Structure 1
Amino acid sequence: MNQTVNQTMNPRHDWWKQSVVYQIYPRSFQDTNGDGIGDLPGITSRLDHLQQLGVDVVWLSPIYASPQDDNGYDISDYRNVAPEFGTMADFDAMLAGMHARGIKLMMDLVVNHSSDEHEWFRQARSSRDNPYHDHYIWRDPKPDGSPPTNWEAAFNGSVWEWNEPTGEYYLHMFSRKQPDLNWENPALRAEVYDVMRFWLDKGVDGFRMDVINMISKPWNADGSLPDAPVVREGFLQPSFPMTCNGPRLLEFLREMREQVLDHYDTITVGEAPLATITQGRELTNPETGALNMLFQFEHMDLDSVGGTVGGKWAFKPLDLRDLKATMTRWQEALAGQGWNSLYLSNHDQPRPVSRFGDDGRYRVESAKMLAIFLHGMQGTPYVYQGEELGMTNLPFASIDDCRDIETLNFYREAVIQRGESPAQTLAAIRRKGRDNARTPMQWTAGPQAGFTGGTPWIGVNPNSVEINAEQAYADPDSVFHHYRRLIELRRRYPVFVHGRYAQLLPEHRQLDVYTRTLGDQVLLVLCNFSAEAQAFNWPAALARDAAELLLGNLGGLLPSGEPAPESLLRPWEARLYLTRVASA
């Protein structure tokens, strides 16, 4: 059904501000035909889980036809469903099931690049004179025969791949099987807009746009691309700083909005590596921007040593003060001028309870604390599948257990090419590898966690015997029911959506304490990011006698049976209070 609305006559809708989004990674959600790969009928069969949780929107990772070089982020046909996931009829049934439950669907739009098996690229690589040649980015070698620039691809190696039929290199910021699309070409942009209309006219409610701030490249006046500054002697140089937030980005996205998005009632979020606060305001401003919100990565990079050969794999312990500073900058800068997305995990990130919490003794407590920390801020919260169960990273026994192209390439380059320690490299993969988020959803304590009747495409976490949805439903104090209560509070109290944010303890190393204020209501958020009890003083500016505890992650009694002191936050404790400003 066409959802066209005349945005020039109706106010711009902002239902997505009140929403909570749940991301499904279809390959790992639920398999119904026993091939070990999650599918669309599997998603349909589990929609009651989402309805019970209370989410408003599903973000569905790619289900398009694809050779699966990068698990579906290499698309060979934007208008068809990959056979391993099902059929278009299966898609239509899934969408109808979501809408019947009041859940909207946000598709993944991957248009910085396509698959090299897409018909556009098959045509483009055949001849310089082919009409599709200009759909992609081609350049001749340098005079010495070397690739056009010194850029390194996201999955290691050069961003340039030689194409013998045309005697040129083509650009690929990711895998060599993911050639970058040429957004300078109006014909390419028109093709993209047609693809968007195809899905919107089927009833889809919006798009998450993959690495969308890379579509505008930094062209020199002569049509060449510049070399990257040398920050690592003897290596290819980081390419993301060269291609993120290019000169025509806002122009392209405004055109997309005018041509497509303004004619539908949509939710849009752009994945934007290296986006600055200024760019965040510019892109998400409701009047002059183009998107509803961004996925920025500042907080995701705080536990990595930037500028090193290891990149994201070079670990450093998180300093809570840095996390608070980053979140506060974005909260304050976008207030009234744009909108934040709130996330701690997705298909590209390790499990948050293993990364930012304690996935051992305090798994349940820290998973709940992280939920309160995130959902208390202003923005649209995102829940990645399994996060609502407190799922953890998988202790991969060897590189043979891994499936992700980024991980496999990193291991090969680190161990085989540079001679680094296999044990240390595997330790980095266990900590930061993308496969941590891609292990099958843990539904039951039974074989293969209830995910499949066959052999799963990637191993199931052994702790599924203890951590699974069936167990969580039965336990009223589970992580699942904690998330459900948080989502209910968001619907009940507008302060969660519209309240003004203020950080109260920016320099504390273990506590995060902040407020959200709307009218005479104040939401006070208390989070202990440590395994040690922390003293807490009630803010003098807030009325203690009017405070109502909306939600906590620990009971009101100590193990001894004594009441827990309100002036002490126990290990990984979090509380949400509703109060008001104290009388003068």
Structure 2
Amino acid sequence: MLQYWYKNAVLYNLDVETFQDSNDDGIGDFVGLTQRLDYLAGLGVTCLWLAPFYPTPNRDNGYDVEDYYDVDPRLGDLGDFVDFIRAAQQRGIRVIIDLVVNHTSINHPWFQSSRSSEDSPYRDYYIWKKSKPENADGFLVFPGYQETTWTYDRKRKEYYFHRFYEHQAELNIGNPKVRDEIRKIMAFWLQLGVSGFRVDAVPFLIELKHMDSANVDQPYEYLREFRDYLSWVKGDAILLAEANVGMEEVPKYYGNGDKLHMMFNFMLNQHLMYSLMSGNAMTVREGMYQPPPIPDNCQWANFLRNHDEFPVGRLSKSQQEEMYEAWAPDENMRIYDRGIRRRLAPMLEGNLRQLKLSHSLLMTMPGTPVLRYGEEIGMGEDLSLDERNTTRTPMQWQSDKGGGFTKADRSDMVRPIIHRGEFSYKKVNVTDQQRDSESLLSVTEHMIRVRKENPAFGYGKWSIVETGNTEVLAHRLDWRDKTVVAVHNFGQSSLSIELDLPVHLKKQMSEMLSDAAYETINNADGEIDIEGYGYRWFQIDEGSS
């Protein structure tokens, strides 16, 4: 049995409220999600990552939590959640959930008590100051939508800290009682069957700014605390971190394999996207080399797009400007002075070959792939929606009214389903693509199956294979006696290239998957062909020599 299940996993991120509505109130729910598990199992998903589903005022897509121990009544109840977990387990699908403990909603009982009484046991659960700090209007996470990080509370007559919106009060992680609460939250959901947590906003969670009660010099030690407790409660559970940090910081988050299990690879993501935009494979190659080595029991999580904006801050200034010009020419497409609020398919103008290329890259890059719901069919965005909601529209299942998501009127939906243009549910949906063997959905499903059959993609040690062409990326992953090689052409023209591999390995190469029907490799020293935006996956079984 293979260790570290998350290394060969295929993760799929979704928001319950936009996935499937079972009672036609226009809002997705756990009963609806359970009904769609067969689809996810058929796609090849092995682990679901659920966006926050806790009770919430819902002023930030559920990331403003009001109660950590329940399900938002719009989405169902705890019984529905347990039924969902059981049904997922029956299909071999694990579930991880968002752990949003950097802050709570100001509606949370802890905050209401903290502001109300000097004798409150929650008095120091949050970060309070009698006077507003001088740098309160400095670093803002949401420029243009956020004016300060300190807001005056009339009841307590003090200022509270909020790294994000003013309705999201920052928890005081330096308070041992707060960390005890976090551990209890983790234990509760682990006992209900989840396999771990995607931890939201980790760099902000562990920052010690303005905390008078912090008792450690290195805030990363808090990650070890949580990891120890997680492993004690459930040995194979994982922590997947949202931490868009500099590469010099990465070792502090992984530790010696005793802190976080996984981190999203923002560095690789931005370089890969630039290569897709420019046609130059050298940029993604640079992005592969940037991250430092990580412990053997740790893993990078790779993605194309997620539920937030696409950030560009890990690219050079000139590259950022190129990205904006190509993929966000209108100011309405940009957000927070740092990113793009669009889905991938419209940015690639619906180019099916490029979309298939991007999915091939996702499935073969060193690490674990994370698909965002709708990516497998090439969903679009709705730029008329506020902030990041542009890419959070309902899943498009079929061409009937409501797109198979709901029978409710469009005006009653949690967000309007995309109903106009090339990416409307009438033109982009699951049912139509299931009937087409060459569709993005069908090809992605095939890629997932081949990846899962070849654990070297998830476990292997990677290295670049030289091709002599700047438009082509080739890399290999070696694991035990198996080697896999992936070749990707970022350019639009067909090419012939030679892979810089030892002759004895070339002789053992066999093709597993490709974008087209290529000639069988006969000449170990010869060239191989690859179409524009093409991809080819090979396996080498050294044990057969």
**Under a length normalisation based on structure 1, what TM-score does the superposition of the two structures give?**
0.77
2:434 paired with 1:457:
no
For structure 2, the residue ranges without an aligned partner over 5 or more in a row are 310-341, 520-525
Structure 2 counterparts to residues 219-258 of structure 1, below 5 A: 219=209, 223=212, 248-258=218-228
CA distance in 2, matches of 1:267, 1:392: 33
CA distance in 2, matches of 1:85, 1:274: 30
1:55 pairs with one of 18, 39, 45: 45
2:306 match = 346
CA distance in 2, matches of 1:554, 1:56: 27
Task: Answer yes or no: is the 8 Å Cα contact 2:114–2:122 preserved in 1.
Answer: yes
Shift of 1:370: 1.2
Task: Answer yes or no: is the 8 Å Cα contact 1:216–1:248 preserved in 2.
Answer: no
Shift of 1:491: 2.8
1:489 match = 450
Task: Answer yes or no: is the 8 Å Cα contact 1:321–1:507 preserved in 2.
Answer: no
2:99 paired with 1:109:
yes
**Under a length normalisation based on structure 2, what TM-score does the superposition of the two structures give?**
0.83
Percent pairwise identity: 28
Structure 2 counterparts to residues 45-84 of structure 1, below 5 A: 45-84=35-74
Structure 2 counterparts to residues 114-513 of structure 1, below 5 A: 114-142=104-132, 148=136, 150-154=138-142, 155-219=145-209, 223=212, 248-285=218-255, 287-301=256-270, 320-330=281-291, 333-334=293-294, 336=296, 338-349=298-309, 350-355=342-347, 358-360=348-350, 362-363=351-352, 365-394=353-382, 396=383, 401-403=384-386, 407=387, 434-454=388-408, 455=410, 456-461=413-418, 462=420, 463=423, 464-505=425-466, 509-513=470-474
Report the aligned-residue RMSD.
Answer: 3.1
Q: Which amino acid aligns with 1:291?
A: L
CA distance in 2, matches of 1:30, 1:530: 38
Higher mean alpha-carbon deviation, 208-217 vs 530-539, is at 530-539
Higher mean alpha-carbon deviation, 288-297 vs 12-21, is at 12-21
Structure 2 counterparts to residues 569-584 of structure 1, below 5 A: 569-579=530-540
Task: Answer yes or no: is the 8 Å Cα contact 2:271–2:286 preserved in 1.
Answer: no
Task: Answer yes or no: is the 8 Å Cα contact 1:324–1:506 preserved in 2.
Answer: no
Task: Answer yes or no: is the 8 Å Cα contact 2:174–2:213 preserved in 1.
Answer: no
CA distance in 2, matches of 1:247, 1:534: 55
SS at match of 1:326: helix
CA distance in 1, matches of 2:186, 2:259: 15
CA distance in 2, matches of 1:475, 1:125: 58
2:316 match = none
Task: Answer yes or no: is the 8 Å Cα contact 1:140–1:148 preserved in 2.
Answer: no
Q: Which amino acid aligns with 2:514?
A: G
Matched positions, count: 494
2:516 match = 554
Q: Which amino acid aligns with 1:57?
A: C
Task: Answer yes or no: is the 8 Å Cα contact 2:396–2:428 preserved in 1.
Answer: yes
1:308 match = none
Shift of 1:321: 2.8
| 1:478-516, Cα deviation, whole Å (9 max, x unpaired) | 222222222222332232222221123599543222111
Shift of 1:128: 4.7
Cα distance change on mapping 1:522 and 1:291 into 2, 3 Å: same
Q: Which amino acid aligns with 1:27?
A: E
Cα distance change on mapping 1:55 and 1:265 into 2, 3 Å: farther
Cα distance change on mapping 1:508 and 1:156 into 2, 3 Å: farther
| 1:92-141, Cα deviation, whole Å (9 max, x unpaired) | 11111101111111111100011110000111122455321210111232
